């Protein structure tokens, strides 16, 4: 029983990261029609940013949660302005290829500098230790990750689906030319949205740092799983990305408990099944 | 432009292409005698075939597969296993690997063509990652070690393939046959319909073509030929390992095709020789190879989308009138 709840918790944690990353991908895809292959690398950069802040500048976890997404997000906006913006009129596959190349560059540079072994990042003192719930031991930091990511995901959902700003965003997704004609600066909105999506990845990276260690390759395999999550959920809805992310994390955790050999592949198998039954994805629509 | 003019230009273009093919094959035939290492050439040829197979799908079918390593790797594992454990001769080992890739291609293709564009790329990538984990865990591949010291054996029981030069010419013949097959397919009615679907799928459908069937056939053909490359590669280098099924390999074949020029006949060959050349000369620099690969990707996408062969032929047709 202990082990089952333990794996469920691990699943929820993974699910939290899947949700945040696929949310970022979905937001970017909605407006730019680009699949951001650098997303994994930017998640890794977020974790490294936190590590640098702590070990070189003495800035702690809480400030990192704010600073890392801003720094990495700004880096993302720079990429969007200087490179991606040139590709909007072309086939969307070029965006995928460009971001793939950028991911290779970033990962290669970090591996040259730091090798491929992980570096530890301490859990902030406020969240050290854990709670004994009777049926299982719950480390405080993990509880925090789940709650914080839920909060981040749902506030993103709220902003996009329920506010004025979000309605501009959704309108620009449908018809950018018309929205621009109404006097809204769509290119700036695209840049900021890209920065926001990248910032989400970096935030997930900071939150992951104390759990998974900081490693140049931490995003590389993650991003492929997140792609599968995105295919399963479909990119149609923000809520879809959140629910699929958490749901698949839990399924993966359960698989680890019941049939560990399949835990690496279960998400891909689910993707195949979803493609057979509902090609547009669980929450998606054909476009 | 009158129809006869168009036909004349088309004939001239295909004459140039045919002359190019003859020149390329002749150059490859004498290459070992002008100072190029046969081992390097064999590696480059295997990857050139891999890239040509990939280009058939991307350049002519418009489908970007980000998981083609699974066909290269699957065929490699099956051939290596067939040659080493079952003791099959060279030609049967290669055939069984290729057949395995064709079977896998049929399954994956049927699934992946249910979505298009970016989704197609993500789906193939995800399925390839699933295959990677499968090969990582299944016992016959020997995990991180791979299948080592695979015997090359004799071709048709006659030609001893342990001689590097004999092996090289066998690889060259395999490459040449596959290359000519691809050239033939591209210029067949099938290839024309495929291009029509790439340009405007709804229109091709309204003209009565079953687009999904064409795409699936192209996918299977591409997977099979990628498998032929992988099968040959694993026996030539006597090794089948996880490198060949990893996603970086899928990215590499995209890069070769993009750099050489997608949708051109010679582009993938040029791209493969350049990338394999870079990798073997920079092999001591470790991770810098990854960085350089990434830089080439970015430069190609931003400034050089037609690739080397594409840019050259555009320049040629501009200046030759």
Q: What is the pLDDT of residues A196-222, one digit of tens each?
A: 999 999 999 999 999 888 989 888 878
Please indicate whether, in this complex, the C-beta atoms of A104 and B130 are within 8 angstroms of each other: no
By the 8 A CB rule, do B223 and B72 touch? no
Tell me the H-state helices in A115-237: 140-162, 164-174, 176-181, 186-212, 220-233
* Distance between B159 CA and the closest CA of chain A, angstroms: 43
Q: How many whole angstroms separate alpha carbon B246 and alpha carbon B256?
A: 16
Please indicate whether, in this complex, the C-beta atoms of B111 and A108 are within 8 angstroms of each other: no
pLDDT at residue B1, as a whole number: 42
Q: Which of B294, B303, B305, B306 to mutate to test the interface with A (most CBs of A within 10 A)?
A: B294
B126, B291, B297 member nearest A100 (Cβ):
B297
DSSP code, position B173: H
B119, B129, B291 member nearest A109 (Cβ):
B291
Q: Is the dihedral of CA B50, B52, B55, B61 positive or negative?
A: negative
First to last CA, chain B: 14
Q: What is the pLDDT of residues A53-105, one digit of tens each?
A: 988 888 888 998 999 999 999 999 999 999 988 888 888 888 889 999 999 99
Please indicate whether, in this complex, the C-beta atoms of A102 and B298 are within 8 angstroms of each other: yes
Q: How many whole angstroms separate alpha carbon B134 and alpha carbon A261?
A: 9
Checking ipTM against 0.90, whether it exceeds it is: no
Instruction: Name the one residue in this structure whose structure tokens are 């190609």.
Output: B300
Q: How many whole angstroms separate alpha carbon A87 and alpha carbon A32?
A: 10
Nearest chain B residue (CA) to A261: B137
- Structure token pair of residue A175: 């018809």
* Distance between A151 CA and the closest CA of chain B, angstroms: 28
Q: How many whole angstroms separate alpha carbon B54 and alpha carbon B56?
A: 5
Strand partners, B160: B154
pLDDT at residue A275, as a whole number: 83
Torsion of CA A2, A260, A22, A148, to 10 degrees: 10
Strand partners, A132: A137
Please indicate whether, in this complex, the C-beta atoms of B130 and A268 are within 8 angstroms of each other: yes
For residue B76, what are the contacts with CB-CB under 8 A and spacing of at least 6? Answer: B97, B230, B231, B233, B234, B240, B244
Q: How many whole angstroms separate alpha carbon A180 and alpha carbon A172?
A: 8
Please indicate whether, in this complex, the C-beta atoms of B126 and A228 are within 8 angstroms of each other: yes
Q: How many whole angstroms separate alpha carbon A22 and alpha carbon A17?
A: 8
Nearest chain A residue (CA) to B251: A100
Q: Is residue B110 less than 8 Å (CB to CB) from chain A?
A: no
pLDDT at residue B4, as a whole number: 56
Q: How many whole angstroms separate alpha carbon B264 and alpha carbon B258?
A: 10
For residue A278, what are the contacts with CB-CB under 8 A and spacing of at least 6? Answer: none
Residues of B in contact with A271 (CB under 8 A): 123, 126-127
Count of A-B CB contacts under 8 Å: 119
Residues of B in contact with A221 (CB under 8 A): 129
Q: Is the dihedral of CA A49, A53, A54, A56 positive or negative?
A: positive
For residue B165, what are the contacts with CB-CB under 8 A and spacing of at least 6? Answer: B32, B38
Please indicate whether, in this complex, the C-beta atoms of A101 and B294 are within 8 angstroms of each other: yes
- The number of C-alpha atoms within 13 Å of A175 and in the hemisphere containing its C-beta is 4
For residue B64, the SS3 value is coil
B64, B287, B301 member nearest A111 (Cβ):
B287
Q: How many whole angstroms separate alpha carbon B130 and alpha carbon B64?
A: 18
Where b means 16+ CB within 10 Å and e means fewer, A49-68 reads bbbbbbeeeebebeebbebb
Q: How far is CA B174 from CA A2, A249, B27, B228, in A?
A: 58, 46, 16, 9
Q: Is residue A86 less than 8 Å (CB to CB) from chain B?
A: yes
pLDDT at residue B7, as a whole number: 60
Q: What is the pLDDT of residues A115-164, one digit of tens each?
A: 878 888 888 887 888 787 777 788 888 899 999 999 999 999 999 889 98
Q: What is the pLDDT of residues A235-265, one digit of tens each?
A: 767 888 899 999 999 999 999 888 888 888 8
By the 8 A CB rule, do A72 and A45 touch? yes
pLDDT at residue B88, as a whole number: 85
Please indicate whether, in this complex, the C-beta atoms of A105 and B129 are within 8 angstroms of each other: no
pLDDT at residue B71, as a whole number: 95
- How far does Cα B114 stand from its chain's mean position? 23
What secondary structure does DSSP assign to A208-243, as a single string? HHHHH-B-TTTTHHHHHHHHHHHHHH-SS-HHHHHH
pLDDT per position in chain B (321 positions), as tens?
445 555 666 666 677 888 888 888 888 878 788 877 888 889 999 999 999 999 999 988 889 999 999 999 999 999 999 988 888 888 899 999 999 999 999 999 998 888 887 888 888 988 998 899 899 888 888 878 888 877 877 777 777 777 788 888 999 999 999 999 999 999 999 999 998 988 888 898 999 888 899 999 999 999 999 999 999 999 998 888 888 898 889 989 999 999 998 888 899 999 999 999 888 888 777 778 889 889 988 998 898 888 888 888 888 888 875
Q: How far is CA A184 from CA A181, A189, A220, B184, B229, in A?
A: 7, 8, 36, 52, 53
Residues of B in contact with A29 (CB under 8 A): 118
A86, A221, A231 member nearest B123 (Cβ):
A231
By the 8 A CB rule, do B294 and A102 touch? yes
- The number of C-alpha atoms within 13 Å of B83 and in the hemisphere containing its C-beta is 33
- Backbone φ and ψ for A134, nearest 5 degrees, come out as 95, -60
- How do the domains of chain B map onto residue ranges? 25-246
Q: How many whole angstroms separate alpha carbon A38 and alpha carbon A108?
A: 13
- Structure token pair of residue B183: 């050239």
DSSP code, position A123: P
Nearest chain A residue (CA) to B254: A97
pLDDT at residue B8, as a whole number: 63
By the 8 A CB rule, do B294 and B284 touch? no
Query: What is the widest separation between alpha-carbon atoms in chain B?
Result: 63
Residues of B in contact with A100 (CB under 8 A): 251, 254, 297
Q: What is the pLDDT of residues A21-33, one digit of tens each?
A: 999 998 888 888 8
By the 8 A CB rule, do B153 and B161 touch? yes
Q: Which of B298, B305, B307 to mutate to test the interface with A (most CBs of A within 10 A)?
A: B298
Residues of B in contact with A96 (CB under 8 A): 64, 66, 118, 121
């Amino acid at each position: 029983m202990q082990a089952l709840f333990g794996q469920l918790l691990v699943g929820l944690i993974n699910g939290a990261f899947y949700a945040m990353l696929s949310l970022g991908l979905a937001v970017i895809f909605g407006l730019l029609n680009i699949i951001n292959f650098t997303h994994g690398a930017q998640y890794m950069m977020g974790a490294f940013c936190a590590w640098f802040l702590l070990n070189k500048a003495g800035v702690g976890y809480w400030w990192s949660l704010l600073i890392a997404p801003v720094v990495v997000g700004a880096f993302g906006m720079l990429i969007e302005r200087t490179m991606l913006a040139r590709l909007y009129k072309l086939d969307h596959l070029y965006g995928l290829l460009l971001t793939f190349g950028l991911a290779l560059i970033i990962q290669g540079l970090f591996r040259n500098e730091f090798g491929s072994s992980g570096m530890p990042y301490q859990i902030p003192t406020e969240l050290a230790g854990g709670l004994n719930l009777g049926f299982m031991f719950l480390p405080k930091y993990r509880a925090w990750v789940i709650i914080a990511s839920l909060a981040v995901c749902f506030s993103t959902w709220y902003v996009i689906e329920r506010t004025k700003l979000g309605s501009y965003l959704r309108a620009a997704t449908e018809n950018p030319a018309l929205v621009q004609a109404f006097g809204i600066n769509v290119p700036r909105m695209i840049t900021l949205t890209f920065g926001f999506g990248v910032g989400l990845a970096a935030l997930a990276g900071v939150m992951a740092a104390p759990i998974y260690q900081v490693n140049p390759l931490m995003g590389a395999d993650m991003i492929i799983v997140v792609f599968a999550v995105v295919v399963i959920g479909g990119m149609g809805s923000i809520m879809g990305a959140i629910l699929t992310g958490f749901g698949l994390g839990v399924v993966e955790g359960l698989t680890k408990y019941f049939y560990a050999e399949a835990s690496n592949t279960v998400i891909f198998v689910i993707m195949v099944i979803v493609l057979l039954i509902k090609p547009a994805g669980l929450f998606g629509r054909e476009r | 432009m009158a129809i006869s003019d168009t036909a004349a230009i088309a004939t001239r273009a295909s004459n140039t292409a045919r002359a190019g093919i003859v020149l390329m094959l002749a150059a490859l035939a004498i290459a070992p005698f002008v100072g190029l290492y046969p081992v390097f050439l064999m590696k480059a040829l295997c990857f050139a075939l891999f890239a040509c197979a990939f280009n058939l799908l991307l350049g002519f079918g418009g489908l970007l597969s980000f998981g083609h390593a699974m066909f290269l790797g699957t065929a490699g594992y099956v051939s290596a296993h067939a040659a080493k454990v079952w003791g099959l001769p060279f030609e049967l080992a290669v055939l069984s690997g290729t057949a395995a890739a064709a079977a896998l291609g049929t399954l994956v293709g049927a699934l992946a063509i249910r979505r298009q564009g970016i989704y197609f790329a993500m789906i193939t990538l995800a399925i390839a990652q699933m295959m990677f984990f499968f090969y990582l865990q299944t016992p016959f591949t020997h995990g991180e070690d791979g299948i080592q010291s695979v015997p090359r054996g004799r071709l048709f029981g006659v030609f001893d393939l342990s001689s590097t030069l004999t092996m090289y010419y066998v690889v060259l013949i395999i490459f040449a046959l596959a290359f000519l097959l691809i050239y033939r397919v591209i210029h067949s009615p099938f290839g024309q319909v495929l291009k029509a679907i790439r340009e405007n799928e709804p229109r091709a459908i309204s003209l009565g073509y079953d687009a999904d069937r064409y795409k699936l056939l192209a996918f299977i053909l591409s997977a099979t030929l990628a498998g032929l490359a992988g099968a040959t590669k694993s026996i030539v280098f006597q090794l089948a390992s996880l490198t060949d099924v990893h996603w970086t390999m899928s990215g590499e074949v995209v890069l070769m095709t993009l750099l050489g020029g997608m949708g051109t006949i010679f582009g993938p060959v040029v791209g493969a020789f350049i990338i394999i050349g870079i990798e073997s000369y920079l092999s001591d620099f470790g991770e810098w190879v990854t960085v350089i690969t990434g830089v080439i990707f970015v430069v190609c996408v931003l400034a050089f989308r037609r690739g080397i062969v594409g840019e050259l032929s555009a320049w040629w047709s501009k200046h030759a009138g």
